[in-house]
C-alpha cells in the first residue's frame, strides 16, 4: 500500500513509533498534494487539509506498507478519521494514488497555516512521547468512545497542555 502523510507522520521517528518499525528509506520520498492547504486544527497541534485552489501541500510518500501498518495508522489516527485515496505528485510531476487520513466530519481550523518545521520545533517531543505511549495499546481492543479521554491523559502525562 502507498500512503501520503501531510502532517506529523512526516516525521521519521514518529512514523516509526506508529508503525512499530522503520520503513526502508528507499520506500520513502517527497510528494505533494495540489489544490489543498494545511491549517492548524483549532486547539490542537496537528493540521487538517482544506481545499485551496492553487494550494500545494508538501508531504511524505511511503510505498510498500502492509495491512498491519494500515491498522496501526488507523489506531493512531482514531475513529474520527478515515482512509481515502488521493492523487499526489512525485517530484518531476508523476501522479500516483496514495491513501491519506481525512476526518470523517470537517474539523474546525483556526485559520492559520500549519507548518511542519514549526511543529517539529515546538511540539515534536511531547507528541512523540504521547504517540509512544498511545501505540502500546495498538494490540488491545479499545472502545472508540474512550480514545479521546485516553489521548488527553497521555497528553498530560507527557507534559503537554490539554486544550478544549
Q: Which of 150, 128, 121, 115 is nearest to 162 (CA)?
A: 150
As a CATH number, domain 3-157 is 3.10.490.10
140 pLDDT tier (thresholds 50, 70, 90) = low
The CA distance from 141 to 24, in Å, is 29
Check residue 139 and give its pLDDT: 65
CA distances to 15, 16, 122, 135 from 154, in Å: 18, 19, 18, 11
Check residue 93 and give its pLDDT: 78
Contacts of 151 (CB under 8 A, 6+ apart): 78, 130, 134
Check residue 44 and give its pLDDT: 87
Indicate if the pLDDT at residue 141 is higher than 70. Answer: no
- The pTM (predicted TM-score) of the whole model is 0.82
The CA distance from 76 to 137, in Å, is 10
Check residue 45 and give its pLDDT: 85
108 pLDDT tier (thresholds 50, 70, 90) = confident
pLDDT digits (tens, 9 = 90+) for 64-96: 999 999 999 999 998 888 889 999 999 987 899
Helix axes 124-135, 144-157, angle to 10 degrees: 130
Check residue 154 and give its pLDDT: 43
Check residue 156 and give its pLDDT: 46
pLDDT digits (tens, 9 = 90+) for 10-33: 999 999 999 999 999 999 999 999
Which cell goes with 41?
Answer: 486544527
Amino acid at each position: 500500500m502507498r500512503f501520503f502523510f501531510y502532517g506529523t507522520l512526516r516525521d521519521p521517528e514518529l512514523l516509526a513509533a506508529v508503525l512499530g518499525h522503520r520503513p526502508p528509506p528507499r520506500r520513502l520520498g517527497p510528494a505533494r498534494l495540489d489544490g489543498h492547504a494545511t491549517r492548524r486544527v483549532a486547539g490542537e497541534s496537528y493540521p487538517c487539509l482544506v481545499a485551496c485552489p492553487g494550494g500545494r501541500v508538501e508531504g511524505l510518500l511511503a510505498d510498500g506498507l502492509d495491512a498491519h501498518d494500515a491498522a496501526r495508522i488507523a489506531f493512531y489516527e482514531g475513529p474520527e478519521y478515515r482512509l481515502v485515496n488521493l492523487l499526489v505528485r512525485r517530484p518531476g510531476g508523476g501522479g500516483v494514488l496514495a491513501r491519506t487520513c481525512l476526518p470523517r466530519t470537517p474539523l474546525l481550523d483556526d485559520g492559520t497555516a500549519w507548518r511542519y518545521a514549526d511543529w517539529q520545533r515546538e511540539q515534536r517531543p511531547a507528541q512523540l512521547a504521547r504517540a509512544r505511549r498511545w501505540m502500546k495499546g495498538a494490540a488491545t481492543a479499545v472502545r472508540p468512545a474512550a480514545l479521546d479521554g485516553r489521548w488527553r491523559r497521555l497528553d498530560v502525562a507527557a507534559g503537554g497542555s490539554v486544550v478544549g
